[in-house]
C-alpha cells in the first residue's frame, strides 16, 4: 500500500474511531491542548504526496490542495523552524480536514482541522485542535504571538453551541470558558516572562546608576533607561519582538559602560583563569579557554 492510500485509510480510522482524540507522545511532561476557530480559509498550500509534507501551493510537488485557516497559518508563520510540516492524516473529499505536526526550538506542535458545523460547507464551521508539548516557555510565547497577530479571538466560535455539543459528543470534559482560560493563561505567562526580563535589565541599570555621577557614561545610562521604557511600551502594544530589540540595545549600552568603567575585567583574563558568576545560586564556575596559546 502506498503512502497516499495509507494516509487515506488512517484518516478514515481516525474520523470513525477517535475523531479529535489523538494525542502526541509527550516525554517531557508539559502539554497544552487548545481549541480554536479556524478562521477564514485560504488555499496557499498543497500536499507533497511523496514526502507527506506541506508545500507552498506553487511548489511543483504540491499536487493536492489543502486549506489552512487563519489560526493555523499564523502558528506556522510565527514558528522559527527549519523542520518540515508533516501531514499525518487528510480527507480525500475535504481539503480543510487534516492533521499536521512540526517542531521548533524544542517545541512540538500538532494541529488538527475539522468541521464541527455545516457539514464542511462553510469556513465558519471549522475548528482546530492545537497540541503543544516539551517547551512550556516557547509554547506560551507562540500563543502570545498568534493571538497578537489575529484580528479575532481564536477561542471564540461562530457557532458556540454547536462546538460545545461537539466537545460533549467526543467526550471532552471541557467548557468553552475553560478553553478560553487556557488560551489566556498561556498568553499571560508569556507576558510575565517578558516582564521579568525587563525587570532584570532595569535592575542592571540601577546598579550602574549607583556608581555614576555625570558625564558621557551617565548619558549612556540615560539612553539605556530609555530603551527599557521602550521595551515596556512595546510589550503594552503586544509587540514582543520590538521589546526584545529594545532590551538588546539596552544590553549593548550597559556592556559598553561596563567596559569603560572596568577596562581590565573579562578582557585580560589569563588563559585558564576561573571566572566566577556571583549572581548564580548554584555556585557554577566557568573556565575561560578563549585565549588559546599559539
How far apart are the C-alpha atoms of 211 and 225, rounded to whole Å?
Answer: 15
Residue 272 inside a domain? The answer is: no
pLDDT tens string 166-191: 999 999 999 999 999 999 999 999 99
Q: Is the pLDDT of residue 13 over 50?
A: no
End-to-end CA distance of the chain: 61
Evaluate if pTM is beyond 0.85: no
Q: Poorest-confidence range of 222-226, 248-252, 261-265?
A: 261-265
pLDDT tens string 201-221: 999 999 988 887 667 788 999
Are the C-beta atoms of 154 and 39 separated by less than 8 Å?
Answer: yes
Residues 146 and 26 in one domain: yes
Residues 210 and 257 in one domain: yes
> At 224, which CATH number?
1.20.1270
Are the C-beta atoms of 108 and 100 separated by less than 8 Å?
Answer: no
Domain-terminating residue out of 145, 174, 203: 174
Residue 283 inside a domain? The answer is: no
Residues 34 and 100 in one domain: yes
Residues 230 and 107 in one domain: no
Q: Which residues, in sequence order, are CB contacts of 85 under 8 Å at separation 6+?
A: 53, 54, 76, 100, 101, 102
Residue 143 inside a domain? The answer is: yes
Domain count, the chain: 2
At 141, list the grid cell: 510565547
Question: pLDDT-based confidence at 290, cuts 50/70/90?
Answer: very low
How far apart are the C-alpha atoms of 149 and 125, rounded to whole Å?
Answer: 21
Residues 254 and 114 in one domain: no
Residues 76 and 14 in one domain: yes
Residues 45 and 89 in one domain: yes
Residue 249 inside a domain? The answer is: yes
Domain boundaries, position 62 = 3-174
Amino acid at each position: 500500500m502506498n503512502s497516499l492510500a495509507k494516509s487515506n485509510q488512517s484518516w478514515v480510522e481516525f474520523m470513525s474511531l477517535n475523531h479529535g482524540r489523538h494525542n502526541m507522545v509527550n516525554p517531557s511532561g508539559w502539554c497544552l491542548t487548545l481549541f480554536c476557530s479556524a478562521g477564514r480559509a485560504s488555499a496557499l498550500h498543497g500536499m507533497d504526496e511523496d514526502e507527506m509534507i506541506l508545500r507552498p501551493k506553487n511548489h511543483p510537488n504540491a499536487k493536492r490542495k489543502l486549506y489552512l485557516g487563519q489560526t493555523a497559518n499564523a502558528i506556522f508563520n510565527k514558528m522559527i523552524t527549519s523542520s518540515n510540516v508533516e501531514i499525518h492524516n487528510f480527507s480525500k473529499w475535504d481539503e480543510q480536514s487534516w492533521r499536521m505536526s512540526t517542531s521548533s526550538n524544542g517545541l512540538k506542535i500538532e494541529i488538527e482541522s475539522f468541521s464541527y458545523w455545516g457539514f464542511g460547507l462553510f469556513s465558519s464551521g471549522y475548528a482546530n485542535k492545537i497540541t503543544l508539548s516539551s517547551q512550556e516557555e516557547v509554547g506560551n510565547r507562540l500563543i502570545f504571538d498568534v493571538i497578537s497577530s489575529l484580528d479575532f479571538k481564536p477561542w471564540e466560535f461562530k457557532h458556540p453551541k454547536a462546538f460545545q455539543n461537539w466537545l460533549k459528543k467526543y467526550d471532552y470534559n471541557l467548557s468553552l470558558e475553560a478553553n478560553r482560560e487556557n488560551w489566556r493563561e498561556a498568553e499571560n505567562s508569556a507576558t510575565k516572562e517578558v516582564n521579568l526580563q525587563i525587570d532584570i535589565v532595569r535592575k542592571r541599570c540601577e546598579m550602574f546608576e549607583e556608581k555614576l555621577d555625570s558625564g558621557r557614561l551617565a548619558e549612556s545610562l540615560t539612553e539605556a533607561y530609555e530603551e527599557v521604557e521602550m521595551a515596556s511600551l512595546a510589550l503594552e502594544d503586544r509587540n514582543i519582538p520590538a521589546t526584545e530589540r529594545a532590551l538588546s540595545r539596552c544590553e549593548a549600552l550597559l556592556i559598553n559602560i561596563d567596559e569603560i568603567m572596568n577596562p581590565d575585567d573579562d578582557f585580560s583574563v589569563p588563559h585558564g583563569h576561573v571566572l566566577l558568576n556571583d549572581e548564580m545560586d548554584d555556585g557554577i564556575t566557568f573556565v575561560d579557554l578563549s585565549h588559546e596559546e599559539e
